[in-house]
Amino acid sequence: MKPLVNNPCYKNVYDVILDDNVVSSIKDLEGSDWLLNFRVLSLRNNYLTQVPTYALDNALQRNRNAGIVNLGNNPWTCDCLFTPSFQVR
């Protein structure tokens, strides 16, 4: 995920589909310009157990381009702190 944040060659990448990979975290995207401009983020069938829901909430409220966020079929850690904010969307 770091190239989306740090590499200027990826500045205009708006659709990221990384289904069926070994992605275990999207913390690197937190606070990035990419998160505020993306159209598609698909990370189905990976190794995500948590996502920074406050970062996604903020991005989705401010990003007028966001159309698709696919996070299904990951081994989520759903506890009392994580679940309520994750289910809101």
- Render pLDDT for 68-80 as a digit per residue (tens, 0 to 9): 999 999 998 876 6
β-bridge pairing 68-70 and 15-17: unpaired
Can you give the pLDDT at residue 41?
94
For 57, residues 6+ apart whose C-beta sits below 8 A from its C-beta are: 85, 88, 89
pTM above 0.85, yes or no: no
